Amino acid sequence: MRRAEAVFPLSPADRGAGRSADPGTPVISLRDAALAYGDRVLWRDLQLDVRPGEFLAVLGPNGSGKTSLLRVLLGRQQLTSGSLAVLGHSPRNGSRHIGYVPQQTFQPTHALLRARDLVRLGLDGHCWGLPLACRAIRRRVDELLASVGATPYADVPVGRLSGGEQQRVRIAQALATDPRILLCDEPLLSLDLQHQRTITGLVEERRRSAGTAVVFVTHEINPVLGLVDRVLYLARGGYRIGPPDEVMTSSTLSQLYGTQVDVVRVRDRIVVVGAPDAGTAHTHDDGAEEGEGQ
């Protein structure tokens, strides 16, 4: 897969993040982790370490707990059992060390929130009328918008932006505090191939240049196949984790689903046939997970 090119200027904090990260120390560590809603187990006995600079893709069918996993990492959802450490501590909601790109949401065209306003929401603190603080925040917002190529529409209401433009702005917002971990929840949904390449290129450049760990929930592995270090595949209350060539196989997915699943490689693409809830070539849609409490 051809990688998108992206120019991503770094602040001093960005440049230091990659050098200071210890590649041997996980930034995310789950042990014997389980998540259930009543009698329904989404996943259990999850053992997972994510290290600085790693790109982990999270896949699975509807309701398998992909979005819920991100909520756990964000400190918004408690594990049913097991333990979790994020950057060596229990997760807490609102950590400046974690950037979060949520699923796309509908923005009315008449809304007044501009692209630069959305990015500014990702920054800590308030101006409270202090001119120097205001200027520093405005300068940082301008830098972030420029880093994702969103300067031309910085003052355009978010609801008037295309899906690809909105995702650029959401990535800028997620990077506002120079996070060490970037969590992305279906950031490629409803985007055409060109915009998918742009968004994945921005995420990959951040990971490569700053050593940021990426946990990337997606319904389709092909747009990120050339970037992924490992795949975490959730299904039927269990999981498989490993390099794409080990996880995305007929034997592995058949064992995970408990039924025959065929994985076919066509040139540089992977097509999954026969997986429950997979109506087409591995297009699992997690859009209802949060709303259904999954």
One digit per residue, pLDDT tens: the chain, 294 residues? 333 333 223 333 333 333 344 567 999 999 999 999 999 999 999 999 999 999 999 999 988 999 999 999 999 999 999 999 999 999 887 788 999 999 877 666 667 899 999 999 888 544 545 554 688 888 999 999 999 999 999 999 999 999 999 999 999 999 999 999 999 999 998 888 999 999 999 999 999 999 999 999 998 899 999 999 999 999 988 999 999 999 999 999 999 999 999 999 998 899 999 887 643 334 333 333 443 344
Burial bucket for residue 194 (CB in 10 Å: 0-12, 13-18, 19+): exposed
Residue 77 lies in a domain: no
Residue 283 lies in a domain: no
Distance of CA 247 to the CA centre of its chain: 19
The number of distinct structural domains making up the chain is 1
Residue 19 lies in a domain: yes
Residue 196 lies in a domain: yes
Q: What is the CATH number of the domain that holds 56?
A: 3.40.50
Look up residue 108 and give its DSSP letter: -
Query: Closest Cα to residue 254, out of 232, 227, 231, 236?
Result: 236
Token digits for 246?
A: 């080990």
Tens of pLDDT along 79-138?
999 999 999 999 887 788 999 999 877 666 667 899 999 999 888 544 545 554 688 888
Q: By the 8 A CB rule, do 95 and 73 touch? A: no
Provide the β-strand partners of residue 184.
101, 216
4-18 per-residue burial string, b: 16 or more CB within 10 A, e: under 16: bebebebeeebeebb
Residue 74 lies in a domain: no
C-alpha–C-alpha distance, residues 203 and 55, integer Å: 9
- Compute, in degrees rounded to 10, the torsion defined by CA atoms 65, 94, 27, 1: 60
Residue 41 lies in a domain: no
How many C-beta atoms surround the C-beta of residue 207 within 10 A? Answer: 21
In the chain, the percentage of residues whose pLDDT exceeds 70 is 81
Q: By the 8 A CB rule, do 100 and 194 touch? A: no
User: Packing angle between helix 131-147 and helix 163-174, nearest 10 degrees?
Assistant: 130
Residue 75 lies in a domain: no
Domain span at residue 215?
1-23+48-65+180-264+288-294
Residue 273 lies in a domain: no
Token digits for 240?
A: 């498989």
